[in-house]
Amino acid sequence: MTTATVTRPAEEQAAQQVRAARSRRWRAGGRRELVGLFFLLPAILVFGLFAWWPIVRGLIISFQRTDLMGTSTWVGLDNFQALFADPLLGTAVQNTLLFVGLGVLIGFPAPLILASVLSTVRRLGGVYRFLVYLPVVIPPVVSVLLWKWFYDPGAGLFNELLGTVGLGPYPWLESPDTAMLSLVLESTWAGMGGTVLIYLAAMVGIPQELYEAAEIDGANLWQRIWHVMLPQLRTVIALLLLWQLINTVQVFTEPYVFTGGGPQNATTTVLLLIFRYGFQQGNYGQAAALAFLLALALALLSAVYLRATRSWSTS
């Protein structure tokens, strides 16, 4: 009898033991997944009912003519054709992109700069943080009405202050040239507090040794911010930028309460146009069609953005 003949049964027995152990692990893993799925099922059902079903329902309505009360009629792509034939759609898209651009230009760096300044404050830091966050707890409509008084062309706060140095008065909300910028300034003020606190929390996690090493190497304040702080915050910055893009694309309260879309449709945004279709004209199919296209655009934007910035969180 050769040595190979003697060792073959032992090898087969070892292989069977490995397969048996692998099968036991697979069954145990499957049971754990089933138990996990059982506990997740209520949350999945609630999420599907309140998050996914409205999207599916909106997609269905976009192919129907309906008043949401009686019988609906399938109209194919008629709602989409009517939507693209509306000359106001292009204006709304341009205005929304302008709001997004100004929001990113003004509203995105402002919280980061303010958080950088607050992180260096050693006395009364809690008071300053409270004051920065205070606008967030004010209801959005109240904030807009407050700023509407600030922008008043007659006795508004801004024109009164500018009048003391011989400037103005300016028609902040009445001019198509300044109306959108006025909306962005209020929106930045109202939503900046939460973002500042997120940046401050992220800055606490940066090791002080990095700042001290940069200081020993002769780095000034700007160089410490650029070479130490910003690289450490890049993941937070990437997520907050995406958050800012999605929020600004869906702007509604400011143009609705401030200007109603005027003057001369200079502040009519996509979401305001959806509101007009659905709740002023009763054209729910066209409103659902535009809402579906907006959701599709945001999904594509998020996918492209996350892929483009994937290296920020892995490097």
Here the CATH number for the domain that contains residue 87 is 1.10.3720.10
Assigned domain for 1 exists: no
Residues 183 and 46 reside in one and the same domain: no
Residues 171 and 224 reside in one and the same domain: yes
Which pTM value belongs to this model?
A: 0.82
Assigned domain for 22 exists: yes
Tell me the pLDDT of the chain averaged across its residues.
Answer: 87
The total number of structural domains in the chain stands at: 2
Residues 70 and 96 reside in one and the same domain: no
Show the low-confidence residues of the chain (pLDDT under 50): 1
Looking at 74, 92, 126, the residue that finishes a domain is 74
Q: What is the pLDDT of residue 189?
A: 92
Looking at 74, 97, 130, the residue that finishes a domain is 74
Assigned domain for 315 exists: no
Alpha-carbon gap, residue 12 to 211, rounded angstroms: 61
Residues 89 and 189 reside in one and the same domain: yes
Looking at 74, 92, 118, the residue that finishes a domain is 74
Q: What is the pLDDT of residue 308?
A: 85
Domain range for residue 38? Answer: 10-74
